[in-house]
Amino acid sequence: MKKLLALFLALMATVGGARAASEGIAWDTFPEKKLTDLAALQHGAKLFTNYCLNCHAAAFMRYTRLRDLGLSDAQIKANLMFNTDKIGETMKVALDAKDAKDWFGGLPPDLTVIARSRSGKNGTGADYLYTYLRTYFRDDSKATGWNNLAYPGVGMPHVLWELQGQRAAVYKEVADDHDPAVKHTVFAGYEQLSPGKLGPQAYDDAVADLVAYMTWMGEPVAQQRVRLGVWVLLFLAVFMVIAWRLNAAYWKEVK
């Protein structure tokens, strides 16, 4: 019951962010082929444990579940476990709630089902996360020094900045379509301030791997469920034909 309550509170903490995320810029389309690519999912798990699990927990995900991605216990312990020595433990963090409030204004939300909770009218939760993690830019007016196009005023700093580098948002004024005298300020791209460890395409690919893992983490059996669902529908279709013919046979003498 305590875990269910904690999950509910974590989801409620993301409601405001999800509402903000449903507005603003259009979301880019997440490459769904990553969801069936074991190498991409393994890389995404590595990025998650190295960059996300420092502050955000995934308290409803056990390290043993990573076996489903083709990883051995030895590989999990050597490369993905930093907060515990027990392979059966959940992905918790050592971040103190008081420190989190002082540093970030609140405890960072649990990410176990983040991809499922962030879907909106602009697309799926994976689309949002894929866009969000690729639209950070420097903003000295913010306490963290960062802002985000997909989530303006975001409180989380850009944890992947070493990979992407530092960028500034560029804006320009354009005339209104109906009244040329009226000007609108629109986003015109980015100015690269410093290079990252990855190029633009490599960074987008890494983010796709990370989002694929977070999507998988929200429902590890999703692919099996889809495959099973196909067989269930085929069974029902065949059974419907059999039931229809049996019904006709039972009632053919009844007038």
Can you say which residues are annotated as belonging to the binding site? 52, 55-56
Alpha helix locations (H) across the chain?
2-13, 15-21, 38-47, 73-79, 97-104, 114-117, 125-132, 161-164, 200-218, 222-251
Which residue type sits at 24? G
Binding residues for heme c, as ranges, are 52, 55-56
Strand, coil or helix: what is 98? Answer: helix
Residue 235 contacts by C-beta under 8 Å, 6 or more apart in sequence?
Answer: none
- Please identify which residue in the block is written with the tokens 């039972």: 250
CA distance 70 to 223: 15
Distance between first and last Cα of the chain: 58
